[in-house]
């Protein structure tokens, strides 16, 4: 066994549940009890293990990707203490979802394209479109599929993306992003507002997309996707308030609170 330690608490089942909640995710594929992700042209198998996860193969290339994928960047213990002291609604969720580490999207291009597929459709539809995109433009590696490279989408036509389920406008946005001069890796070094500005300069990428990029790729603690319909519903059900006003109340843990609110609606 090749053990990759993860910060406690960590619940593998809860933390990988998103990859099955809305249908099979080809790029993060759960097969029986293992999660498969294509990394560097290899099928990497990730299984639950005491103290972390069993990763095969585990090396300098796969280690950082798996750590990011499983949300190792999040600090749960301070979040749990804060919730107990100041936010009883969130505290109840931390008990219900103890050990849930929100999964992160390791690749910035994949994160943005995934958000484009999810614009104004259900997550079931978004996952289906994403899978057709992966199956058409990606590469199968064992049990998983490598998400299409930016260069592959840049070389595609808008009609080809429409053929896998994108609307005409979403196809324009995706191809435009792929062909743009935006350095996606550089965004990690910028402040939140600078990231928002760079992303929203591109056609079709608005505040909702930028906020989810901050939340699900960069793991920024103050990311708060107030325009998300599911989060608006969760805010109303759990707090009885508008989601925009809730952001300040949940400072400095807006991102983790959002993930716990959304996942709490999926777990009985």
Per-residue pLDDT tens over the stretch 194-234: 999 999 999 999 999 999 999 999 999 999 999 999 999 99
197 contact partners, CB below 8 Å, separation of at least 6: none
Query: Could you tell me the two tokens for 225?
Result: 């996707």
- What is the distance between the alpha carbons of residues 257 and 268, in angstroms, rounded to a whole number? 18
- What is the distance between the alpha carbons of residues 39 and 45, in angstroms, rounded to a whole number? 10
Could you give the 3-state DSSP secondary structure of residue 34? strand
Q: Which tens digits make up the pLDDT trace of 135-179?
A: 999 999 999 999 999 999 999 999 999 999 999 999 999 999 999
What is the domain partition of the chain in residue ranges?
3-72, 108-216
pTM recorded for the entire structure: 0.95
What's the confidence (pLDDT) of residue 101? 97
- What is the distance between the alpha carbons of residues 20 and 114, in angstroms, rounded to a whole number? 16
Label residue 268 by pLDDT band (50, 70, 90).
confident
- What is the distance between the alpha carbons of residues 74 and 216, in angstroms, rounded to a whole number? 11
Query: CATH classification of 108-216, choosing from 3.20.20.60, 3.40.50.11540, 3.40.1190.20, 1.10.340.30?
Result: 1.10.340.30
Could you give the 3-state DSSP secondary structure of residue 42? strand
- Note if the bond before 252 is cis, omega within 30 degrees: yes
Q: Which tens digits make up the pLDDT trace of 120-129?
A: 899 999 999 9
Distances (CA, A) of 12 to 17, 147, 204, 222: 8, 23, 35, 25
- What is the distance between the alpha carbons of residues 112 and 193, in angstroms, rounded to a whole number? 17
Of the candidates 91, 125, 130, the one whose C-alpha atom is nearest the C-alpha of residue 114 is 130
Distances (CA, A) of 124 to 129, 221, 236: 9, 27, 22
């Amino acid at each position: 066994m090749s053990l990759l330690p993860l910060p406690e608490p960590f619940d593998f089942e809860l933390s990988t549940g998103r990859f099955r909640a809305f249908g099979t995710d080809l790029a993060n594929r759960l097969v029986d009890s293992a999660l498969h992700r294509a990394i560097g042209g290899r099928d990497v198998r990730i299984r639950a293990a005491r103290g972390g996860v069993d990763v095969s193969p585990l090396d300098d290339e796969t280690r950082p990707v798996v750590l990011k994928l499983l949300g190792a960047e999040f600090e749960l213990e301070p979040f749990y203490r804060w919730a107990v002291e100041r936010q009883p609604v969130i505290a109840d969720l931390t008990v219900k979802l103890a050990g849930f580490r929100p999964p992160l999207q390791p690749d910035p291009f994949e994160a943005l394209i995934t958000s484009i597929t999810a614009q104004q459709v259900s997550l079931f539809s978004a996952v289906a479109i994403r899978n057709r995109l992966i199956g058409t433009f990606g590469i199968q590696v064992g049990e998983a599929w490598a998400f299409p490279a930016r260069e592959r989408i840049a070389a595609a036509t808008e009609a080809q993306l429409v053929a896998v389920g994108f609307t005409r406008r979403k196809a324009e946005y995706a191809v435009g992003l792929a062909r743009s001069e935006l350095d996606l890796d550089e965004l990690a070094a910028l402040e939140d507002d600078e990231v928002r500005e760079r992303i929203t300069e591109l056609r079709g990428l608005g505040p909702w997309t930028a906020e989810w990029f901050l939340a699900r790729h960069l793991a920024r603690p103050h990311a708060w996707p107030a325009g998300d319909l599911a989060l608006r519903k969760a805010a109303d059900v759990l707090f009885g308030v508008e989601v925009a006003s809730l952001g300040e109340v949940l400072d400095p843990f807006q991102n983790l609170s959002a993930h716990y609110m959304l996942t709490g609606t999926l777990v009985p």
